């Protein structure tokens, strides 16, 4: 069985505000649990007007309250931005409110620009303490935490599972050393995917959390009734990444019919390379693409991004993907 999950960007579009984006995420999560998705994650982004998940734990609380059993978590918290105690308090509280449903994925990057890092009142030296910060959070979540001099109330005993997120060999090696599940961000940084997975699996050391390696990979999947329509609605994501290349971080834009009118040849080359771990098309295209990706990576779980502008089309995209995944899992038995 290949698990399939959602990473939602909580996109603010030209037609929605931040509240609308957060409510759309909650609606999507409620639908996703009926379609068989395993988990629903959102990511920490700061000083980005087109993404409404900066206060990640608060957004997760809203989503978890609108769902019943799907796992809800961060994909991820950028740990250098925070004191480990604060993150343990936040996710320990979420785990108390929604027992057995909370995940904590952590990343080593700040995920924002240097000025914003300073505004967060954390120095960039926090990157160097990433492994120690993870161990500290694990301690706060442990059963033994209740006897510690410093406690992340009410995290003790919640044992919230921690995932290492990464797009390089560093995260793979650390996840292997600590015996933690590993999520590779191939949906925006695909180049080291295979070599990182090889390092992780080859160096994995069992831990109390995990007995054997577990690999999740990020993949952009945009599905529609026809291949032509899927490629049209995929232009929203292509424009967003083109804007990143230009140094612009604005609102999500509605799809266009001809993406070549938007980007230059240089921008097209960069965006195409960045998004090469993408599957775009109808159900048959998605099935073929997913099978090829699983054959190449041996992933245990797909973390799917479907950056579609209109909410009803995004719901449809994830529903098509879910139907494909159910069929593939049934045929594997």
The verdict on residue 290 lying in a domain is: yes
Query: How many domains are contained in the chain?
Result: 2
Q: Which domain holds residue 1?
A: 1-160
DSSP secondary structure of 118-167: HHTT--GGGGGGHHHHHHHHHHHHSGGGGGSSS--TT-TT----EEEEES
77 with 226, same domain: the answer is: no
CA dist 157 and 103 (Å) reads: 14
The verdict on residue 36 lying in a domain is: yes
The verdict on residue 6 lying in a domain is: yes
The verdict on residue 202 lying in a domain is: no
For residue 123, the model assigns a pLDDT of 63
Contact 68, 33 (CB under 8 A): yes
Q: In a 3-state reduction of DSSP, which class is residue 40?
A: strand
Q: In a 3-state reduction of DSSP, which class is residue 216?
A: strand
- List, in order, residues 6 or more apart from 69 with CB less than 8 Å away: 33, 101
The verdict on residue 269 lying in a domain is: yes
8 with 153, same domain: the answer is: yes
Query: Would you state the structure tokens that stand for residue 200, as one six-digit string?
Result: 């992780």
The verdict on residue 125 lying in a domain is: yes
130 with 279, same domain: the answer is: no
121 with 19, same domain: the answer is: yes
The verdict on residue 155 lying in a domain is: yes
CA dist 23 and 219 (Å) reads: 24
CA dist 236 and 170 (Å) reads: 31
Which domain-ending residue is among 128, 160, 192? Answer: 160
Query: Would you state the structure tokens that stand for residue 8, as one six-digit string?
Result: 């939602």
- What does the pLDDT profile of the chain (333 residues) look like in tens digits? 999 999 999 999 999 999 999 999 999 999 999 999 999 999 999 999 999 999 999 999 999 999 999 999 999 999 999 999 999 999 999 999 999 999 999 999 877 788 888 888 766 555 689 999 999 999 999 999 989 999 999 999 999 999 999 999 999 999 999 999 999 999 999 999 999 999 999 999 999 999 999 999 999 999 999 999 999 999 999 999 999 999 998 999 999 999 999 999 999 999 999 999 999 999 999 999 999 999 999 999 999 999 999 999 999 999 999 999 999 999 987
- List, in order, residues 6 or more apart from 169 with CB less than 8 Å away: 192, 195, 196, 199
59: preceding bond cis by omega (within 30 degrees): no
CA dist 169 and 166 (Å) reads: 8
The verdict on residue 139 lying in a domain is: yes
The CATH number linked to 61 is 3.20.20.30
106 with 233, same domain: the answer is: no
Asked whether the CA dihedral 171, 318, 160, 127 is positive or negative, the reply is: positive
Candidates 223, 217, 225, 259; CA nearest to 240 is 259
For residue 113, the model assigns a pLDDT of 80
Which domain-ending residue is among 160, 195, 229? Answer: 160
């Amino acid at each position: 069985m290949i698990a399939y999950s959602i990473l939602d960007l909580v996109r603010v579009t030209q037609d929605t505000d931040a509240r609308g984006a957060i409510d759309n995420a909650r609606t999507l999560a409620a639908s996703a649990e009926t379609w068989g998705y395993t988990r629903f994650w959102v990511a920490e982004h700061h000083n980005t007007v087109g993404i409404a998940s900066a206060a990640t734990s608060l957004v997760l609380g809203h989503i978890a309250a609108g769902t019943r059993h799907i796992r809800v978590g961060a994909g991820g918290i950028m740990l250098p931005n925070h004191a480990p105690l604060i993150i343990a308090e936040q996710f320990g509280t979420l785990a108390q409110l929604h027992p057995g449903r909370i995940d904590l994925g952590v990343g080593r990057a700040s995920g924002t620009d240097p000025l914003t890092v300073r505004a967060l009142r954390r120095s960039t030296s926090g990157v160097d303490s990433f492994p120690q910060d993870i161990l500290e959070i694990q301690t706060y979540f442990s059963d033994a935490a209740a006897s510690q001099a410093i406690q992340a109330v009410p995290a003790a005993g919640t044992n919230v599972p921690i995932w290492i997120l990464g797009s390089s060999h560093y995260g793979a090696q650390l996840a292997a050393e600590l015996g933690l599940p590993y999520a590779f961000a191939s949906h925006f940084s695909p180049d080291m995917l295979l070599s990182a997975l090889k390092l992780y699996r080859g160096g994995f050391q069992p831990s109390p959390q995990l007995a054997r390696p577990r690999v999740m990979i990020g993949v952009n999947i945009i599905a529609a009734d026809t291949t032509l329509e899927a490629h049209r609605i995929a232009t929203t994501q292509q424009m967003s990444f083109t804007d990143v290349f230009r140094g612009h971080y604005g609102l999500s834009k509605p799809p266009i019919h001809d993406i070549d009118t938007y980007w230059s040849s240089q921008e097209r080359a960069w965006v195409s390379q960045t998004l090469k771990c993408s599957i775009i098309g109808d159900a048959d295209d998605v099935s073929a693409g997913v099978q090829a990706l699983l054959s190449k990576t041996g992933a245990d779980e797909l973390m799917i991004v479907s950056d579609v502008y209109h909410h009803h089309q995004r719901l449809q995209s994830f529903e098509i993907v879910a139907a494909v995944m159910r069929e593939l899992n049934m045929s594997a038995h």
